[in-house]
Amino acid sequence: MAGVVLAKGKDRRIKAGHLWVYRGEIASVDEGVAAGDMVEVRDFRRRLLGRGSYNPASTLSVRLFTREPQEAVDRILLEKRIAEALAFRDRIFPGETTLRLVFSEGDFLPGLVVDRYGDHLCVQLGTLGMERFRPALLEILDQQLHPRGIYERSDLSSRSHEGLSPAEGILAGEIPPAIDLEIDGIRFRVRVREGQKTGLFLDQRLNWREALALAAGKRVLDVFCNTGAFALYALKGGAASALGVDISEASLGQAREQAGLNGFAARSEFRAANAFDFLRERDRASERYDLVVLDPPAFTKSASSVPQAWRGYKEINLRALRILSPGGFLLTSSCSYHLSAEDFLAILREAVSDSGRRVRLLALRGQSPDHPVVPGVPETRYLKFALLHGS
């Protein structure tokens, strides 16, 4: 197999468990290697480090699939990895039919995401290497899962960095306009063709339960609510009322629909607004809520914009603390990878200090385990979730 040779001293991350080789770490590429080819990655002494897909168009020029000297990157490996991913989900969520089945590097299948919604699958192919396996992947998923339909949501902006165009549509079988399902006794209606990303933000599924446990009799505010999952859990838990706020009227329409499906319409309201403006207005009006949820989209997608994102996260958390009732709870999140857990805690410390409140940190968590974290690939640990109690 043709090879990619790393410059001296550029193999440390790979040896520590990372799966990405950056363009600037490569000293040489064997003649004849083309975009999308599988290559061997070697250190400057030409010792084998692993095998993966090569794409010179991307800053991440190689994504490793295996480190085993005798293991080829082929259909057999894909079948094995997908079977391992499914077996893992069966252990952590036995009998569950709504979850993430494959989480890219988290399952050592870089560029592949598969979500399951009952009898239907939603997939993303994010890299050129995985795109080359498209026919085999569809056959494997059909053979191992027998879905009624497979829908593709490869409309990621990152595909352009791979030299790929966005791709979306039905790949196999039938996909209804809406898929009805149930999680923790709550009814959801998922529209994989219209919703953000692959339908539901399943990485928060265990964190949703905090709202269920804390909301009884409470006045709840769910900011950046999307389709209303946190609000639905709070209402299921007996919240006196829940107000969801989001900029997307389409998402709010789904939130209202789901509240109605669960019999929560009379206790819920979903309002279109800019979250920053709304929080400032609530603060000026001296409004108070017993449970506040902040689940914003990523405020930064690059290291260069972290300072601006820091200010944004601090602003919303400061405002949320100021409108939190005495004895209330704040559930707050960040899904920005470039903002570390330590950074997130530092932001919360600043917000608490500026709010003048006495606050306890009760929990600091990450994403649901069906989005597994690989220690050597810190990018797989992206979601930070904190539970705060204000005195």
Q: Point out the residues that are catalytic.
A: 335
CA 187 to CA 195: how far, in whole Å?
16
3-state secondary structure of 286: coil
Q: Which residues pair with 183 in a beta bridge?
A: 186
Strand (E) or helix (H) holding 249 = helix 249-261
DSSP symbol at 67:
-
Contacts 24+ apart (CB under 8 A), 43-51: 43/5, 43/6, 43/11, 44/5, 44/6, 44/7, 44/8, 44/9, 44/10, 44/11, 46/3, 46/5, 49/6, 49/11, 49/14, 49/15, 50/14, 51/1
3-state secondary structure of 2: coil
Contacts 24+ apart (CB under 8 A), 246-252: 246/270, 246/272, 246/273, 246/275, 247/272, 247/273, 247/274, 247/275, 248/272, 250/194, 251/195, 251/196, 251/225, 251/226, 251/227, 252/225, 252/228
Place of tokens 């929080």: 279
CA 26 to CA 61: how far, in whole Å?
9
CA 56 to CA 32: how far, in whole Å?
13
Under a CB-based contact definition with an 8 Å cutoff, are residues 348 and 315 in contact? no
